[in-house]
Structure 1
Amino acid sequence: MRPERQHQNWRSEAGSRLWLSGLIAAMKHAERPDVRRQPVAPEILLELRAQLALTASFRTSGVSTLRH
């Protein structure tokens, strides 16, 4: 799905629930010990740091540095 479509979808109530459900599922997956032991590629960590460094207003404007 194109990023601009994702941005539009999560703004609806159903889209918000879907986005939140996906986030919860991803967090549950990431907390598993077997997953936590796996190394993370350096480029993913760089992208994550760049995303976290953005201001909240910029993050919610629909612009993202993470690839979808």
Structure 2
Amino acid sequence: MRPERQLQNWRSEAGSRLWLSGLIAAMQHAERPEIRRQPVAPEVVVELRAQLALTASYRASQISTLRH
């Protein structure tokens, strides 16, 4: 999903709740010992880093847009 679309979804109350519910479920799943012991595939790490970089750069662009 494009960052612009994610931002629109998160602005609504239902979108925020859905996103937060998904985050909580993922964290609860990841904290299980049998899951934590499993190795993480390198391509998953690459995708995660790309997503985090995209989010950070997108936020930075939004902040700079608001300042001008």
TM tier, smaller: 0.5 to 0.7
The number of residues matched between the two structures is 58
Considering only CA atoms, is the larger Rg found in Structure 1 or Structure 2? 2
Bigger RCO (CA 8 Å, 6+ sep): 1
1:22 corresponding residue in structure 2: 22
Identity of matched residues, %: 79
Structure 1 unmatched runs, 5+: 62-68
Distance 2:43 2:60 in 1: 23
- TM-score by length of structure 1 reads 0.65
- TM-score by length of structure 2 reads 0.65
Cα drift, residue 14 of structure 1? 1.1
Structure 2 unmatched runs, 5+: 62-68
Higher helix share: 2
